[in-house]
């Protein structure tokens, strides 16, 4: 069955059958090189896939990172004046298939017999995330009742946003789309504190988040939909991936800021 997609190479497959097959070496991969801008989780993952599935030699892969440490916004370190600081973290859930796929091939730093995915899975299996209360008032008294408390009309507003064309939302804020009732609802408090939204933020971004994380809604009132790494994401994700890439010969060029990219595109080649 052919999918209706921009890329006709995408086909429906039978579960994990095709994913579990080791990829054959692409023709001409020996003549190709990769330069990845930044060392965030996207670049690190791309390089891991190039090595594992595209069979590219690690010494053909170069990272250009403006900082002196890898990880993008996932870095973390102890600072004498501020304590331990981790700049960022990514909320993960049950459907990050590409990330889980590559993590299954990355050895854990603590136990090389386990993968990063194994360590992540058992961390959440042994200690699942759950919050007894999400909203408080009056200096710590519980306010929420574990429900969204939305009216039918407010539910329709959310559904209509999900179905609105992107072009119609490009210059609109969330407060232009949602009613005052919705913006003062428990749902909005629960949502905005989980995803860091303000009323004046982009309505289009809100729509994209709704479509991306709609499967988290059932766990929004208690955060049970979320999964976490054992340590901060720099130590649990970035360091094992960097070790894997360095062991395969990848080059990391730090303190390098990319200010321009030129493309040379011909009929059969792109540089």
In the chain, how long is the greatest CA-to-CA distance? 67
Q: Is the dihedral of CA 72, 78, 79, 83 positive or negative?
A: positive
If phi > 0 it is left, if psi is from -120 to 50 it is alpha, else beta; for residue 200 that is alpha
If phi > 0 it is left, if psi is from -120 to 50 it is alpha, else beta; for residue 192 that is alpha
Catalytic residue among 57, 91, 157, 175: 91
Number of other CB atoms surrounding residue 256 within 10 Å: 13
Catalytic residue among 57, 157, 175, 209: 209
| Locus of tokens 């690690």 | 58
Asked if residue 221 lies in contact with residue 147, where contact means CB atoms within 8 angstroms, the answer is yes
3-state secondary structure 118-158: HHHHHHHHHCCCCCCCCCEECCCEECCCCCCCCCHHHHHHH
Q: Which two tokens stand for residue 82?
A: 């501020």
| 77 a catalytic residue | no
> What residues have CB less than 8 Å from 63, skipping those under 6 apart?
36, 38, 39, 43, 47, 70, 250, 251, 252, 253
**Surface-to-core class of residue 81, CB atoms within 10 Å of its CB (0-12 exposed, 13-18 middle, 19+ buried):** exposed
Lateral strand order in the sheet of 251-253: 34-37, 61-64, 251-253
| 91 a catalytic residue | yes
How far is it, in rounded angstroms, from Cα 185 to Cα 135? 12
Catalytic residue list: 91, 209
């Amino acid at each position: 069955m052919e999918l209706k997609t921009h890329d006709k190479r995408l086909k429906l497959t039978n579960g994990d059958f095709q994913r579990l097959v080791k990829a054959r070496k692409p023709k001409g991969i020996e003549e190709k090189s990769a330069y990845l801008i930044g060392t965030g989780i996207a670049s690190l993952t791309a390089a891991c896939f190039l090595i594992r599935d595209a069979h590219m030699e690690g010494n053909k892969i170069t990272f250009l990172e403006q900082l002196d440490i890898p990880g993008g916004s996932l870095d973390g370190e102890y600072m004498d004046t501020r304590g331990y600081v981790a700049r960022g973290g990514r909320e993960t859930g049950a459907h990050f298939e590409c990330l889980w796929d590559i993590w299954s091939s990355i050895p854990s730093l603590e136990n090389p017999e386990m993968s990063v995915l194994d360590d992540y899975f058992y961390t959440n299996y042994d200690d699942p995330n759950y919050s007894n209360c999400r909203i408080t008032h009056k200096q710590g008294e519980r306010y929420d009742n574990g429900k969204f408390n939305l009216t039918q009309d407010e539910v329709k507003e959310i559904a209509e946003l999900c179905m609105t064309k992107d072009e119609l939302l490009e210059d609109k804020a969330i407060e232009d789309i949602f009613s005052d009732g919705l913006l003062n609802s428990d749902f909005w408090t629960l949502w905005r504190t989980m995803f860091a939204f303000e009323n004046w933020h982009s309505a289009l971004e809100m729509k994209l988040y709704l479509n991306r994380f709609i499967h988290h809604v059932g766990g929004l009132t208690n955060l049970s939909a979320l999964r976490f790494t054992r340590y901060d994401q720099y130590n649990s994700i970035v360091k094992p991936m960097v070790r894997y890439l360095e062991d395969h010969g990848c080059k990391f060029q730090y303190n390098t800021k990319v200010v321009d990219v030129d493309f040379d595109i011909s009929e059969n080649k792109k540089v």
